[in-house]
């Protein structure tokens, strides 16, 4: 017991130090977890045992990740994406495997070994890509949708591979075909079963749970649903991740989607970190050193090979070249299921030990290299001459351009940050916002807002926001310690810039002024001033005309300021969430019901939802004309109450009233 405690303590301590160090220098946490695994594994310091229990807990991280991904994909949305999932996804897996087999045959590999290696290379990492897309708020970009579609099909394709690998060494072709057909039949049955449960049972269960108003019960129920769905598919011999995704997708149509996402996130993030630690533990450093040149050559080959195939297949189905290449860069790496398949193939003597070690090294290093390549997507596209423009739907969207100056930097893009931005926009005052809530960033970026995801005090982030050329910094956090850290970072990088801080009261005003803050705006003071204004007005004090004008302005502006990107925070729960309207950006896939119809044809006003903006080809159209015809890849910005907006989204995607 003491030994296990020491192992876990050392692992957590190493992970904390690694993540902190990597975030300080602007690198993603995934690399920190991989490094922790390399240090802790048998080929590093070796204090962590490579046990079944550790791998099982790590696999739960993938389960929760796929559950949260399923919450983003309702059945109508998945049906609207069927061309991507079953069209592009099947083309990518099939063509990559076939061409890979031919190349490996030319390298003197046998047909069986060539098929095994090529099928492993065809798979990508759902864990890495989805985590990065969610962190950077790019899950609904076109490149992100193409990547997710391919990853979903790959997760389905893993099932026949898991069945085929053991049978290849012993079974005949007839038995192999029968086993695969049986696997597909089981998959169809379990999908129908989970769909029925999610459609009719789970909403009633969560209605009852929500009525109790107990946070602990909601958390426990979320965990139970995710694990039960995963266990059900596992019992049928399928992937646990697939079951979790299906359960999340069913609940994605409910009004509890954002709350479920918020509840599952802490468990998902911690266990996902453990998963990447276990991936790092499998890297054999002495072997990598001895085969370094060959591994680097193989990495470059796989990168070019998969990007070319994916880009070609995506353009074949009508995608833009920039989105096709961007999706290829997203999913070029080998995936986590590759490690499972390598172990399975080695167990049945289908791969020798050296080949298995080489594939594991290739997979780990490709996953580690992916975050960097994704951040360089825009530069790669420019280098290839594919996209020389800086459009808002690139992976660099919202990042400060070299021409940005005399702008306002907003730290925190929740209600207050969004309100400030909406007043700046009509006055043509440029601004850029930094927000750490990925849900808000995803919605805002999809709507064309210049918002960056990240911790506000990061040096690289401040450089991206071109802080030194800004005219004003606005800090909207209500936490004093967080505000203090940002003020300190801003003062060190741009000592001359003016800083405006919002606080709940004036208790820290002197400290902030001493740190160099230009002005502190206490909410309690502003509320008091407004109350005093009303008291004086109602008491008949002269200046009533001024107060009438103030009241009229508030009344006129209230509908415009009433919508906010909801994110998934608790301030939108319960009864307040039913009264407030919020903004929601919806990307229209190719097969969406709303495509080729005008806004007036859709009669959204009858559903009590407003179309506040339309974004097309990187340009925003405010208050679009009702006669405008919607196209595929358009982004609609809807405003309304949460349930009405969710019903409107389902209507736009599949036409159901």
- CATH number for the domain spanning 299: value is 1.20.1530.20
Cβ-based neighbours of 172, under 8 Å, separated by 6 or more: none
Longest distance between any two alpha carbons in the chain, whole Å? 96
Residue 203 sits in the same domain as residue 121: yes
Residue 549 has pLDDT above 70, yes or no: no
By mean pLDDT, which of 166-170, 235-239, 649-653 is the weakest? 166-170
Place of tokens 């129920």: 221
Given a contact cutoff of 8 angstroms between Cβ atoms, the answer to whether 656 and 607 are in contact is no
Q: How far apart are the first and last CA of the chain?
A: 58
Paired tokens of 158: 């893993």
* pLDDT tier, 455 (very low <50, low <70, confident <90, very high otherwise): low
Say if CB 474 and CB 410 are below 8 A apart: yes
Indicate if 278 and 139 belong to the same structural domain.
Answer: yes
Residue of 562 and 426 predicted with greater confidence: 426
Whether residue 149 contacts residue 332, with contact meaning beta carbons closer than 8 Å, is answered with no
| Whole-number pLDDT of residue 532 | 54
Residue 571 lies in a domain: no
What DSSP assignment string belongs to 249-304?
A: HHHTTSTTHHHHHHHHHHHHHHHHHHHHHHHHHT--HHHHHHTHHHHHHHHHHHHH
Q: Are residues 552 and 588 in the same domain?
A: no
Decide which of 428 and 27 is more confident: 428
Asked if the structure places residue 401 within a domain, the reply is no
393 or 278, higher pLDDT: 278
Asked if the structure places residue 392 within a domain, the reply is no
Torsion of CA 574, 580, 581, 583, to 10 degrees: -70
CATH number at residue 512: 3.40.50.720
625 alpha carbon, distance to own chain's centre: 32
Distance of CA 38 to the CA centre of its chain: 26
Q: Are residues 379 and 415 in the same domain?
A: no
Q: Are residues 534 and 601 in the same domain?
A: no
Residue 248 and residue 304 share a domain? yes
**DSSP-assigned letters across all residues of 347-365:** HTTSS-HHHHHHHHHHHHH
Q: Rounded to 5 degrees, what angle do the CA atoms 365, 372, 412 make?
A: 135
pLDDT of residue 448: 76
HSE-up (13 A, CA, CB side) for residue 246: 29
Burial (0-12, 13-18, 19+ Cβ within 10 Å), 409:
buried
- Structural domain ending residue among the three candidates 383, 417, 435: 383
Q: Are residues 347 and 440 in the same domain?
A: no
Is the residue at 403 inside a domain? Answer: no
Contacts of 353 (CB under 8 A, 6+ apart): 346
* Residue 337 in domain: yes
Q: How many angstroms separate the Cα of 220 from the Cα of each of 144, 227, 608?
A: 31, 11, 35
Max mean pLDDT range (94-108, 117-131, 501-515, 540-554): 94-108
Q: Is the pLDDT of residue 252 over 90?
A: no
Residue 2 falls inside a structural domain = no
- Please count the residues of the chain: 657
Which residues sit opposite 520 in a β-bridge? 501
Whether residue 640 is predicted with pLDDT greater than 90 in this model: the reply is no
Instruction: Look at residue 13 and tell me if it is in a domain.
Output: no
Asked if residue 173 has pLDDT above 80, the reply is no
- Given pLDDT bands bounded at 50, 70 and 90, which one contains residue 80? confident
**Per-residue model confidence (pLDDT) at position 368:** 81
Please tell me whether residues 332 and 466 are part of one structural domain. Answer: no
Residue 43: count of CB within 10 angstroms of its CB: 17
Q: What is the mean pLDDT of the chain?
A: 77
Query: Residue 477: which H helix or E strand, with range?
Result: none
Q: Residue 522 is part of which domain span?
A: 408-561
Let me know whether 373 and 449 are in one domain: no
Report residue 530's pLDDT band, with 50, 70 and 90 as the boundaries.
Answer: low
Is residue 10 domain-resident? no
- Regarding whether 276 and 148 lie in a shared domain, the answer is yes
Task: For residues 79-101, give the mean pLDDT.
Answer: 86
Q: What is the CATH number of the domain that holds 593?
A: 3.30.70.1450
* Cα–Cα distance for residue pair 68/257, rounded to 1 Å: 9
pLDDT of the residue at 381: 83
What residues contact residue 98 under an 8 Å CB cut-off, 6+ apart?
A: 118
Q: Give the mean pLDDT of 238-257.
A: 74
Same domain? 378 vs 449: no
What pLDDT digit, counting tens, does each position of 256-292 carry? 666 677 677 777 778 878 877 877 777 777 877 888 8
The model's pTM: 0.56
Residue 556 has pLDDT above 60, yes or no: no
- Which of 149-153, 580-584, 601-605 is the least confident region? 580-584
What the block records as the tokens of 448 is 């064309």
Contact between residue 64 and residue 247 where contact means Cβ atoms under 8 Å apart: no
Determine the Cα angle at 407 with ends 499 and 581, to 5°.
85
| Last residue of one domain, picked from the residues 532, 561, 590 | 561
**Structural domain total, the chain:** 3
Q: Which of 533, 561, 589 is the last residue of a domain?
A: 561
Band (95; pLDDT cuts 50, 70, 90) = very high
In the prediction, which pLDDT does 307 show?
92
State whether 361 and 412 are in the same domain.
no
pLDDT confidence of residue 98: 93
Residue with tokens 């970009």: 141
């Amino acid at each position: 017991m003491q030994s296990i405690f020491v192992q876990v303590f050392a692992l957590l301590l190493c992970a904390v130090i690694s993540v902190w160090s990597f975030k300080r220098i602007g690198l993603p946490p995934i690399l920190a977890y991989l490094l922790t695994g390399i240090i802790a594994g048998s080929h590093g310091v070796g204090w962590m045992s490579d046990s079944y229990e550790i791998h099982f807990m790590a696999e739960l991280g993938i389960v929760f990740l796929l559950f949260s991904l399923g919450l983003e994909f309702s059945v109508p949305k998945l049906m609207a994406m069927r061309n991507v999932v079953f069209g592009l996804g099947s083309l990518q897996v099939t063509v990559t495997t076939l061409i890979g087999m031919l190349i490996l045959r030319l390298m003197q590999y046998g047909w069986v070994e060539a098929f095994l290696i090529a099928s492993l290379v065809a798979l990508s990492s759902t864990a890495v890509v989805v985590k990065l897309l969610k962190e950077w708020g790019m899950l609904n970009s076109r490149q992100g949708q193409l990547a997710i579609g391919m990853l979903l099909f790959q997760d389905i394709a893993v099932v026949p591979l898991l069945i085929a690998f053991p049978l290849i060494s012993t079974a005949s072709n007839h038995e192999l075909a029968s086993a695969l057909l049986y696997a597909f039949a089981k998959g169809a049955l379990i999908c129908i079963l989970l769909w029925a449960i999610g459609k009719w049972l789970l909403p009633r269960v969560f209605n009852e749970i929500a009525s109790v108003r107990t946070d602990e019960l909601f958390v426990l129920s979320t965990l139970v649903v995710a694990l039960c769905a995963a266990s059900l598919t596992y019992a049928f011999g399928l992937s646990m991740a697939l079951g979790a995704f299906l359960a999340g997708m069913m609940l994605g149509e409910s009004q509890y989607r954002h709350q479920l996402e918020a509840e599952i996130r802490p468990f998902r993030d911690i266990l996902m970190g453990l998963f990447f630690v276990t991936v790092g533990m499998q890297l054999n450093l002495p072997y990598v050193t001895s085969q370094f040149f060959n591994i680097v050559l193989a990495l470059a080959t796989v990168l070019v090979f998969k990007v070319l195939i994916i880009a070609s297949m995506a353009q074949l189905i009508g995608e833009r070249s920039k989105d096709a290449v961007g999706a290829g860069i997203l999913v070029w790496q080998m995936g986590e299921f590759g490690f499972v398949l390598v172990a399975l193939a080695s167990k049945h003597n289908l791969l020798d030990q050296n080949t298995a070690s080489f594939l594991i090294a290739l997979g780990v290093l490709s996953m580690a290299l992916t975050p960097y390549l994704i951040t360089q997507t825009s530069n790669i596209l420019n280098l290839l001459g594919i996209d020389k423009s800086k459009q808002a739907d690139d992976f660099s969207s919202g990042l400060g351009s070299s021409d940005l100056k005399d702008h306002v930097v907003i730290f925190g893009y929740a209600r207050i940050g969004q309100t400030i931005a909406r007043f700046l926009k009509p006055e043509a005052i440029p601004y850029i916002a930094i927000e750490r809530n990925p849900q808000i960033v995803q919605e805002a970026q999809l709507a064309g807002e210049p918002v960056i995801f990240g911790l506000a005090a990061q040096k690289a982030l401040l450089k991206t926001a071109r802080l030194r050329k800004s005219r004003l910094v606005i800090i909207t956090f209500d936490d004093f310690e967080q505000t203090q850290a940002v003020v300190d970072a801003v003062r060190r990088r741009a000592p001359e810039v003016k800083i405006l801080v919002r606080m709940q009261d004036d208790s820290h005003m002197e400290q902030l002024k001493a740190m160099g803050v230009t002005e502190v705006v206490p909410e309690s003071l502003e509320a008091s001033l407004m109350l005093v204004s009303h008291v004086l007005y109602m008491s008949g004090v002269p200046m009533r005309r001024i107060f009438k004008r103030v009241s009229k302005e508030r009344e006129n502006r209230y509908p415009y300021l009433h919508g906010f990107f909801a994110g998934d925070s608790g301030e939108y729960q319960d009864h307040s969430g039913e009264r407030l309207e919020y903004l929601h950006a919806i990307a229209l896939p190719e097969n969406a019901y709303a495509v080729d119809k005008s806004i007036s044809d859709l009669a959204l006003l009858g559903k009590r939802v407003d179309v506040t903006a339309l974004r097309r080809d990187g340009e925003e159209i405010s208050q679009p004309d009702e006669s405008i015809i919607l196209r595929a890849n358009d982004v609609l910005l809807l405003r309304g109450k949460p349930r009405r907006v969710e019903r409107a989204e389902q209507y736009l995607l599949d036409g159901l009233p």
